[in-house]
Structure 1
Amino acid sequence: MAGDPWLWLGLFILFAYGLEAVTGFGSTVVALSLGALLLPIGQLLPVLVPLNLLMSGYLAWRYRHLADGPLLLGGILPAMLAGTLLGYALLPWLEGAALKQGFGVLILWFALRELWRQRHERPRGHSPAWMTRLQIGAGGVCHGLFASGGPLLVYALAGTPLCKARLRATLACVWLSLNGLLSLAFLVDGRLAPALPHLALYLPLLVLGVAAGEWLHHRVAERHFRTLTYLLLCLCGLLLAWHA
């Protein structure tokens, strides 16, 4: 792709946050999977994580009364926090191409699983508690590596009795906590300061993307929008996994 990759990233951010406003889908997963085709993941994370922190903060505060406190504090956050710290510690030891390939496989798995689920619409069986904790911890590792632990965490929580609204509010609190921790880590390790000019430029795009997504929310069939997005993620996953 020709041109400045950071300009392309701005378009990806606009699309990703508009998508999340339409469907509730994770903006970081989309922006990172597209951005990783042009830029190193290590340069993208200090930009995308603080942007997501702002959106998560807004959602967590607005819908705080819907969050499941016992599940959040007693089940999700401890395992996700431990996994996130482990994933962040592993980052310096992973070679860039291997990191992109691993992320590509994760994105491809998630997109194919969602396409299969949409087609068959089969309810998922109940998982044992130890398996759920293991899946949540794995989601934390992915979050520490890619700031994209959502796919595994949502999969782990699929068998819980949380309604859609309570699940979204609880997840917003998770991302607020973990992305706040990652943003602090980026500040301490010196990666946040160089990203601040990009953050300032992309902040209006975040607001514009959310506004556009809310406008489209009542005008676009969510199922079709999601299908196109998952197909796009399949393509990104293949490109990242086999051409990193």
Structure 2
Amino acid sequence: MTVFIFIAIILIASILQTSTGFGFSILATPFLLMIFEPREAIQINLVLSLVISAALIVNIHKDVDAGILKRLIIGSLPGLPLGLIIFLMADIGKLKISIGIVLLVLTVLLILNFRFKKSKGRDYIVGGLSGAFTTGIGMPGPPLLLYFSGTDTQKETLRATTLAFYLFIYSISLAIQMVFVGTNKTIWTSSGLALPLVVVGLFLGQRLFHHINQKHFRVFTYCILIVTGVYLFIQ
């Protein structure tokens, strides 16, 4: 039963990541925590997310907003050690509840048409939050998704810019996790077994992307955020 759950998690999350530019960590991490201990779940997510980002960015790099990407990366640097401290010291249950509540509140605001303008300062802040989320729980996506959705960013720019940022943040976060938290054989064996599923997800997700319009794309992001927030809270 565990094997089938693992297959479903990786395949669905890979399709979502490929078709939207976000979603693997948002969907996979909470459910991987059902099967693995926190360290293993987070590092498996980081490894597979890094593979997906590297595979996709080659073909869509032209859609990357270089200015925002640079500010996100700079902003993420102080957030990375903060997230690691939270991971090492915080109670994982309380941490998931807190994140779930934040996701639900912010998603409701977006559904109610709460919008804001992009600014360089906000780019740095979102980068910092994303960095902390990555080393803390392996989920850099929520701050980026909420920010880009709230500013009505085009889906092509959203997907390309977040994937480029993930390529950086996942690499650094995985290295930090391995050095300060440690790793084990289960992480790398499970990641290797999941790679064929990721390849299938890449293929299906790319085909799906071209059939999603902007309105449906926005509704889809809200659904993912709500499901993730509710799951984290209940679990």
Which residue of structure 2 aligns with residue 134 of structure 1? 125
Q: Is 1:177 aligned to residue 185 of structure 2? A: no
When the two structures are superposed, what TM-score results if normalisation uses the length of structure 1?
0.78
Listed as ranges, the matches of 1:1-244 within 5 Å are 3-4=1-2, 7-37=4-34, 39-73=36-70, 75-109=71-105, 111-113=107-109, 116=111, 120=113, 124-126=115-117, 129-157=120-148, 163-188=154-179, 189-191=181-183, 193-217=185-209, 227=219, 230-231=222-223, 233-241=225-233, 243-244=234-235
C-alpha offsets along residues 34-70 of structure 1, whole Å, 9 cap, x if unaligned? Answer: 3335544332111011100011112233333443334
Q: 1:183 touches 1:192 (CA, 8 Å); kept in 2?
A: no
C-alpha offsets along residues 172-217 of structure 1, whole Å, 9 cap, x if unaligned? Answer: 2211011001222233342254301101111111111222233444
C-alpha offsets along residues 88-112 of structure 1, whole Å, 9 cap, x if unaligned? Answer: 2221101121122223224434554
| Equivalent-residue separation in structure 1 for 2:170 and 2:73 (angstroms) | 12
Q: Percent identity?
A: 24
Give the 3-state SS of the residue equivalent to 2:139 in structure 1.
coil
When the two structures are superposed, what TM-score results if normalisation uses the length of structure 2?
0.80
The 1:158/1:8 distance shift into structure 2, 3 A limit, reads: closer
| Equivalent-residue separation in structure 2 for 1:22 and 1:43 (angstroms) | 26
Number of matched residues?
234
| Equivalent-residue separation in structure 1 for 2:95 and 2:36 (angstroms) | 12
The one-letter code matched in structure 1 to 2:191 is: L
Alpha-carbon shift at residue 134 of structure 1 (Å) = 2.8
| Equivalent-residue separation in structure 2 for 1:219 and 1:126 (angstroms) | 28
| Equivalent-residue separation in structure 2 for 1:9 and 1:185 (angstroms) | 25
The one-letter code matched in structure 2 to 1:147 is: G
| Equivalent-residue separation in structure 2 for 1:110 and 1:178 (angstroms) | 23
Q: 1:64 touches 1:169 (CA, 8 Å); kept in 2?
A: yes
The one-letter code matched in structure 2 to 1:87 is: G
| Equivalent-residue separation in structure 2 for 1:38 and 1:187 (angstroms) | 20
Root mean square deviation of aligned Cα = 3.2
> Structure 1 regions of 5+ residues with no counterpart?
none
| Equivalent-residue separation in structure 2 for 1:157 and 1:192 (angstroms) | 35
| Equivalent-residue separation in structure 1 for 2:62 and 2:212 (angstroms) | 29
